[in-house]
Chains A and B, each alone.
Chain A
Amino acid sequence: MSGKLSFKRDWTAAEADQWSKEDFAAAALGVLAFVAVAFGTPYAFLLRPAGFALFFGGVGLGALMLWIIGPKLNAVSADYEKKQKRYLEDLEKIMRWEELDG
């Protein structure tokens, strides 16, 4: 893909922490995919051609959603797992009413 519709494929940890059009595109496609499957399934079980079109359209939208968000999700997830241990320690300090560092 190119131009304004292009979606970023390589992410640094800092970049992945920012909200971007990939997140919004994934959410929008997710909603459309859910609606398509919700209506496609009953129509497909009634063997209506529109049902199959909707259902597989929904599956396609879901695949596109994962393709768009996948690289960013991998980056943001991997970076966060590195920091998780310290955050968990902070959480336990809050439980014990202790002051947090920094």
Chain B
Amino acid sequence: MNQTVEYLALQDWIWLVAFVALMVGTGVAFYRLAVRSEEDFFLAGRKLPWWLPAVSVYATHTATDTPIFVTGIVFLYGVSGVWYLIFPIWVAVSAFTSTRIFRRSLAYTIAEWQNLRFSGIRAEMLRGWFAGWQFFMSMFVLGWVGAAMGKVSAILFGWPPWIGIVGFATLCAVYVLAAGYWGVVVADFQQGVIAFILIVLVSVWAILAAGGPAAIADKIDRMNSTYSWEVPEVSEPARDCLLRVEGTAEEKQGLAATMDGVFSIEPESAKRGAAPTREQVYESGGGLRILFPRPGDALRGGDEVKVIWTQVDGAEDLKLSLSRDGGGTWEVIGDRLRNGQSWRLDPFAFSGWFQGDFPLAWFFTMLMMAIIGGIGVGTNSDWFVEAQRMQSADTLKGATLAMLGGGISVVFRNGIWVAAILGLFTLTPHVASVSQVETSWYTAGFRYLPAGAVGLFVAAIIAIHLSTVSTRLNLGAMYATRDLYHHYIKPRATERELVWAGRISTLVLLLGSFIYGMMITEITEWLIFAMWIMFAGVWLPNVLQVVWWRFNAWGYLSAWVSSLVFSWLVVWVLPEFGVLPVLPNHAQFWILLGLGAAVFVPFTLLTKAEDMDHLIRFYVMTRPIGWWGPVKREAQRRGLISDELRSEP
């Protein structure tokens, strides 16, 4: 019997069925508004009050895998993991720069934007490329979240994964096919509200279950030092193993402790080895000593375990070494290790400038990508979703507020999760592998919520899945309809034909996503690589297209092509042949950015600028920020924009 099904009482099932029916029903109820035109089917007629797209942003970016991701980040980095989740700050910059510029362009999609920013056949090539890419990406994201929901459904209801993949997406498609974007935002509103309430409720329950807010901080302060260690694989049992921890105490005095007796490492084929306990993490007193493994323990090669040693006041620069021959020779298995766990409450607990798992170099790179990237258009995967919400707001001011409202809600939600997951961490601090605890937030909901509320919790899980699916179905269909069918295949299509093209595209996406969902594990690595190309190699060109009048379509196209080549080389091919080491993320980003610039800057400067009439039209319409002097002066000379400011004192 499935464990979660046991948690569901009759009133839970009633809530669950009622809420799903409400979501689908109200979505479908907007059918008549959606069928009026292409603009209605994809942008709700550009008539939405700001809070509807704001909630839609929030709901869309709360997916079934988000709490799993946040759990992993907090278990690894504590509060400093918030920096990993701070990426929505790009919205704070964008709301006052690129959101205003993009909203003024009125482009349905970022593909359409290419036609406005650039001119001629190059712009058409870019538009076609973006449309195809985004249709494909939507299918991939749908497959990805579908596969995740397949796993969640197996846990929730004991169903085989394919039912989770096909069933919920099909349910969602009912209102997306009927009511397009109207259905998406109206359902998103309900989904966003219910998800938000349940996230707060479950998180508060989790904090209380961990002993309450004060107890969580106290427990973390009392915890011993730990290191997640993957036990080396051995072909023959190693019976004379020892661990030693060394470091410096206050006033730089040396500090060292070696195990009192040996432990063994068994081959991978042996039965599961010894595991640390929660109590060992909290055991106190006795100076520096290793608490796990204990003398006589047998660990299994390939297993991940937490080595535990006592917390000592003022200890730092800790190093852990292994001897396989009873102390004759030593190999370092971890260095620059932290003392105790109090660092988990420190927002600046970085692992050094360039070393370790969370270096400052990566922190500054992420901040720069978010803040500078906020000025550009299409600088991250969320941009494509947000672009639709910007254009669906009733006014330019509404688009700005929608972005701010959606972004801050996401940041607030992450903060609640971080607190709750820190609490859950105090319950299982001895678990080494994040994969064993990544669903702990979900488990907390099922375990601690009262009957009735569990049904709502399951409804909220379904809601956050449906909001992501509905958004991606409509978004991908918009690229296929607006940019491929309407622009290239049938430019004079009637509104009725366009709505039907939207529906057929939605259906194709849905069916394609089922195939992706079933085979996602085989293609995930390749697709993550494909997404990485998108953001590392063309990040700077995405900014330049907004801030530099001279940046042209040839530069942009060359950036895309070179990015494809360089990404393969830097990420896969050269490390495979030993020419380059496997580089950390920040190094990959800067190298790809530099290599790309070495191609697209010459391409831009050696080819003609975009047609001045086209640039003036774009400038007058969107008023981009940055270096647009020649275009602005020409527009003023032609009397297309006011130059009254020049006469001001």
Contact = CB atoms under 8 A, between A and B. Distances in A.
B492 A96 contact: yes
Interface in B272-311: none
B566 to A, nearest CB: 30
B288 to A, nearest CB: 29
Given A14-B645, A37-B411, A87-B106, A45 B416 contact: yes
B400 A73 contact: yes
Given A42-B415, A46-B213, A95-B486, A80 B491 contact: no
Given A38-B414, A76-B100, A14 B644 contact: yes
Given A27-B93, A41-B415, A73-B400, A34 B86 contact: yes
B347 interface: yes
Secondary structure at chain A's binding surface: helix, strand, loop or mixed?
helix
Interface residues of A, number: 44
Interface in B489-515: 491-492
A18 B395 CA distance: 18
Interface residues of B, number: 58
Given A45-B420, A94-B115, A37 B415 contact: yes
Contacts of A46: 207, 213-214, 216-217, 419, 422
A100 B617 contact: yes
A39 B213 contact: no
Contacts, number: 131
Interface string B177-208: 00000000000000000000000000110010
Contact of B416 (A33, A41, A87, A91): A41
B449 interface: no
Interface of B: 79, 82, 85-86, 88-89, 91-93, 95-97, 100, 104, 106-107, 112, 115-116, 203-204, 207, 213-214, 216-217, 347, 371, 374, 395-398, 400, 404, 407-408, 411-412, 414-416, 418-420, 422, 486-487, 491-492, 617, 621, 623, 625, 641-642, 644-645
8 contacts: A35-B86, A46-B213, A46-B216, A47-B214, A80-B396, A81-B396, A91-B112, A96-B491
CB-CB nearest 9 A-B residue pairs: A41-B415, A30-B92, A45-B419, A77-B397, A47-B213, A14-B642, A42-B418, A77-B396, A42-B419
Interface of A: 14-15, 17-19, 23-24, 26-27, 30-31, 33-35, 37-48, 62, 69, 73-74, 76-77, 80-81, 84, 87-88, 90-91, 94-97, 100
